[in-house]
Structure 1
Amino acid sequence: MSKKVLVLAETRDGGLRNVSLESLSAAKRIVEKGEVIAVLLGSDTPQHISTLAQYGADKVYVVSNDQVNQYTSDAYTQAISQIFKDIDPDFVFMGHTAIGKDLAPRAAARLGLGLISDCIDINIEGNDVVFTRPIYAGKAFQKKKSVNNKAFATIRPNNIPVLEVDSSKTAEVIHFSVEIKNLRTIVKEVVRKAVGGVDLSEAKIVVSGGRGVKSPEGFSTLQELANVLGGAVGATRGACDAEYCDYSIQIGQTGKVVTPDLYIACGISGAIQHLAGMSNSKVVVAINKDPEAPIFQVADYGIVGDLFEVMPLLTEELKNMFVVC
C-alpha cells in the first residue's frame, strides 16, 4: 500500500525514546511503496538521524529551532502543523507518552483530522489501515479505522516490536525551518523529582509496590531488585497517597499505563484502578501475604508470604544467578 507516514521522533534527556522506534515499525507495516518520514525537533537532535534511518525512516526532517528544544504545546503544535502541510502525509504516529497525549489531539484538531489514541497494534485489512486499542481498562479491545484513511495516532509503548536494525540504511535529511510565534508558554527550567534510572513507561521489567510495602524504606528494597533486573520501580496510588514514594511512579487508572514483559507486584491487593494500568503486562508475579488478594486472579505466578522475607531472598538468588551467568 502506497502511504506516507510522519513519525514524531521523541527524545528525552538527549536520548531517543524507544517508543519512537516502535512508531517507525508501525509505520513500516502499512507502507509498501510510500515513505516513512521521521521528525526531529530541537537543536540537539541531529545525532539521532542515523538511528532513525537504520530503524526504517526514509526521510528525516530536522527542525533546529531553539523554541522547540523543550516541549510546549504551542511550539510543537505549530511545528508539526507546518511540517504536515509541507509533506501532506496520510498518517501521523507518535508515542502515547505525556507529550504525545498532549500534542496529538491539539495538532489533529488544528489540521481538522481524527485521532486514534493508545494503539497497541496497527495492520492492513483490505484497503484499510486498522488500529487496535484497549477499552474498559483492558477488558476488551476495539478496532478502529479512519473514514478517509488520514489521521493522527498515538502508540502505547512496549506493544509493537521494533524492526531489526539495518546498519547499511541511510535517509534523506531535510533541514526544515518553522515559524514559531505568539507563544503563551515558555519553559525556563526543568526540575525533575524522579532521578535517572529506567523510564517506567518503557521498562521491560517493573517492580511495583502497594500499601503493603509500608514505608519509603520498603521501596528501597524494591529498587534493589529492580536494579538487579535492570527494571524500573512503580507504585499504586495508595502507596503514593501514603507518601511512601513520589506520584511520578504511580501506575493505574489515574497514573501511568505500563506493558512490561515482567511485572512484579509486591504488597498490592489488586484494586481495579491499579489493574487498569498494568493488566496488559506479559507476565505478572504477585507477592502478597493474603492468599485471597484479588491480584492473584490476574497473576501468572503467585507467592503467598511476607514480602519483607520473600524480597531479600529473591533479590539474593537473582544476584547469584547473574553472577553465574
Structure 2
Amino acid sequence: MTKPANLVLAEHDNASIKSATLHTIAAAQRIGGDIHVLVAGHNAQAAANAATAIAGVSKVLLADAPQLAEGLAENVEATVLNIAKDYSHILAPATAYGKNIAPRIAAKLDVAQISDITAVDSADTFERPIYAGNAIATVQSTDPIKVITVRTTGFDAAAAEGGTASVENIDAAADAGISQFVSREVTKLDRPELTSAKIIVSGGRGLGNGDNYRQVLEPLADKLHAALGASRAAVDAGFVPNDFQVGQTGKIVAPQLYVAVGISGAIQHLAGMKDSKIIVAINKDAEAPIFSVTDYGLVGDLFTIVPELVKELG
C-alpha cells in the first residue's frame, strides 16, 4: 500500500515562496512520506518554480486563477478540499495566512485541527505549546486526515535549493462569491522582516514614548543590521504600529539574537520570543521577569546603556 502523502499549503506572493513555508515543509519531513506543495494564486508560475527547488518536495501543485490571486480563505479552502482525500496530513504555517485557511479546511472535513505544533513525535502524535508556552501538550489524533498548523520557530527551515520536483497544474475551485479583496496596505521596511530576521531589537514601555523608541533603538538596530520589534505595552501605548508586536498575540520569533530594551517580560511577550538563541535584556528593574529567560542581563538606565552600547559597536 502506498503511504499517503502530506500536502503543504505554500505561503507566497505569486512570485516567490515565503520562508514560513520552508519551516512547514521541514515539519512535513518529520512526519514522513511524500511531500506535495500547493501553490494557490494567480500568475504564480514563478512561485511554483521556486517551490520545485525546495529540498524534500516531490511534487508541486499549481492552482492558478484570478479568484486565488489574493489568497482569500474561502477560495483556497475550496481548492484544497477538491484534493484533500488524497492526503493523510494537510499542513500550513501558523501565520496569518495559514490560520485564516486551515480552520475552514478542518471544519469542512469534520476533523479537529492540531494547532501550532512545535514537534512531531510520530505520524499521529504532535507537541504544541499551551498556557503561553509554559507547558507542552502532546496531542494524538485518530482523524483520517490531520489538519495541522506549524509554529515556524519550532523547525529549522528546509533548504530552498536542491530539490527537483515537477509542477502539476490542477483546477482552482470556482469563486465562492462570499468575500472580495478590497485593498492591502503593505508596510515598507528598510530593515529585515521581523519573523525572518536573525537579529531583533525590541523596545517596551520603559522607553516612555514613540520618540524615545526611535531615538534610542534605531541607532542600535542600524549597528546590528537588526529588525525592530516591540512589546504589546509599547504597541498599545502607540509607540509603534501593531505589526512590530512580538508575543503570543503578535509575532512569534526565534532569531539568533534578541535584545529586549525596557521590556519587563509579561508572559505573553515571553511566549513570543523565548526560543531565541541568545537573549539580552536591558532593564532598570533587577526583578523584571524578562531576566528569567535571558542569557545576558544589564540592570541599569536604558537611556545610558544603549547609547554606550552603540558607541562601543563603533
Normalised to the residue count of structure 2, the TM-score between the two structures is 0.90
SS of the aligned residue for 1:11 comes to coil
What is the aligned partner in structure 1 of residue 87 from structure 2?
A: 89
Q: Is the 8 A contact 2:201 2:258 kept in 1?
A: yes
Corresponding residue to 2:170 among 163, 171, 176? 176
* Matched length: 311
Q: Deviation per CA, 1:144-185, whole angstroms, max 9, x where unpaired?
A: 122145311111122211234553x31121111123233221
1:251 is displaced (CA, Å) by: 2.1
What is the aligned partner in structure 1 of residue 289 from structure 2?
A: 294
What is the aligned partner in structure 2 of residue 36 from structure 1?
A: 35
User: Is residue 246 of structure 2 the alignment partner of residue 251 of structure 1?
Assistant: yes
What is the aligned partner in structure 1 of residue 109 from structure 2?
A: 111
Counterpart mapping for 1:142-181 below 5 A: 142-148=137-143, 150-164=145-159, 166-167=161-162, 169-181=163-175
Q: Is the 8 A contact 1:58 1:170 kept in 2?
A: yes
- Structure 1 residues 165 and 257, CA, compared in 2 at 3 Å: closer, same or farther? closer
1:13 is displaced (CA, Å) by: 7.9
1:193 is displaced (CA, Å) by: 4.7
What is the aligned partner in structure 2 of residue 262 from structure 1?
A: 257
Residue 290 of structure 1 aligns with an amino acid whose one-letter code is D
1:279 is displaced (CA, Å) by: 2.7
Residue 139 of structure 2 aligns with an amino acid whose one-letter code is K
User: Following the alignment from structure 2 to structure 1, what is the Cα–Cα distance between the partners of residues 39 and 169?
Assistant: 10
- Structure 1 residues 306 and 163, CA, compared in 2 at 3 Å: closer, same or farther? same
Normalised to the residue count of structure 1, the TM-score between the two structures is 0.87
User: Following the alignment from structure 1 to structure 2, what is the Cα–Cα distance between the partners of residues 23 and 50?
Assistant: 18
Counterpart mapping for 1:279-290 below 5 A: 279-290=274-285
- Structure 1 residues 290 and 200, CA, compared in 2 at 3 Å: closer, same or farther? same
Corresponding residue to 1:190 among 170, 184, 200? 184
Q: Is the 8 A contact 1:61 1:175 kept in 2?
A: yes
Q: Deviation per CA, 1:107-127, whole angstroms, max 9, x where unpaired?
A: 111122221111111243xxx
Q: Is the 8 A contact 1:72 1:186 kept in 2?
A: yes
SS of the aligned residue for 1:158 comes to helix
Residue 199 of structure 1 aligns with an amino acid whose one-letter code is E
Q: Is the 8 A contact 1:157 1:202 kept in 2?
A: no
User: Is residue 309 of structure 2 the alignment partner of residue 314 of structure 1?
Assistant: yes
Residue 21 of structure 1 aligns with an amino acid whose one-letter code is L
- Structure 1 residues 91 and 262, CA, compared in 2 at 3 Å: closer, same or farther? same
- Structure 1 residues 194 and 253, CA, compared in 2 at 3 Å: closer, same or farther? farther
What is the aligned partner in structure 1 of residue 57 from structure 2?
A: 57
CA RMSD of aligned residues (A): 2.2
User: Following the alignment from structure 2 to structure 1, what is the Cα–Cα distance between the partners of residues 161 and 34?
Assistant: 17
User: Following the alignment from structure 1 to structure 2, what is the Cα–Cα distance between the partners of residues 204 and 95?
Assistant: 19
What is the aligned partner in structure 1 of residue 5 from structure 2?
A: 4
Q: Which runs of 5+ in 2 are unaligned?
A: none
Q: Is the 8 A contact 1:194 1:248 kept in 2?
A: no
- Structure 1 residues 6 and 152, CA, compared in 2 at 3 Å: closer, same or farther? same
1:235 is displaced (CA, Å) by: 1.1
SS of the aligned residue for 2:200 comes to strand
Q: Is the 8 A contact 1:3 1:30 kept in 2?
A: no
What is the aligned partner in structure 2 of residue 209 from structure 1?
A: 203
Q: Deviation per CA, 1:124-146, whole angstroms, max 9, x where unpaired?
A: 3xxx4321111111111111122
- Structure 1 residues 122 and 9, CA, compared in 2 at 3 Å: closer, same or farther? same
1:12 is displaced (CA, Å) by: 4.1
What is the aligned partner in structure 1 of residue 299 from structure 2?
A: 304
Q: Is the 8 A contact 2:52 2:167 kept in 1?
A: no
SS of the aligned residue for 1:90 comes to strand
Q: Is the 8 A contact 2:41 2:69 kept in 1?
A: yes
1:29 is displaced (CA, Å) by: 2.2
User: Following the alignment from structure 2 to structure 1, what is the Cα–Cα distance between the partners of residues 287 and 172?
Assistant: 58
User: Following the alignment from structure 1 to structure 2, what is the Cα–Cα distance between the partners of residues 93 and 172?
Assistant: 20
What is the aligned partner in structure 2 of residue 19 from structure 1?
A: 20
Q: Is the 8 A contact 2:89 2:146 kept in 1?
A: yes
- How much identity, in percent, do the aligned residues show? 37
1:265 is displaced (CA, Å) by: 0.7
Deviates more, 1:179-188 or 1:234-243: 179-188
SS of the aligned residue for 1:16 comes to coil
SS of the aligned residue for 1:102 comes to helix
User: Following the alignment from structure 2 to structure 1, what is the Cα–Cα distance between the partners of residues 193 and 292?
Assistant: 27
1:274 is displaced (CA, Å) by: 2.2
1:14 is displaced (CA, Å) by: 4.2
Residue 256 of structure 1 aligns with an amino acid whose one-letter code is K
Q: Is the 8 A contact 2:254 2:277 kept in 1?
A: yes
Q: Is the 8 A contact 1:38 1:61 kept in 2?
A: yes
What is the aligned partner in structure 2 of residue 323 from structure 1?
A: none
Q: Is the 8 A contact 2:14 2:42 kept in 1?
A: no
Q: Is the 8 A contact 1:206 1:232 kept in 2?
A: yes
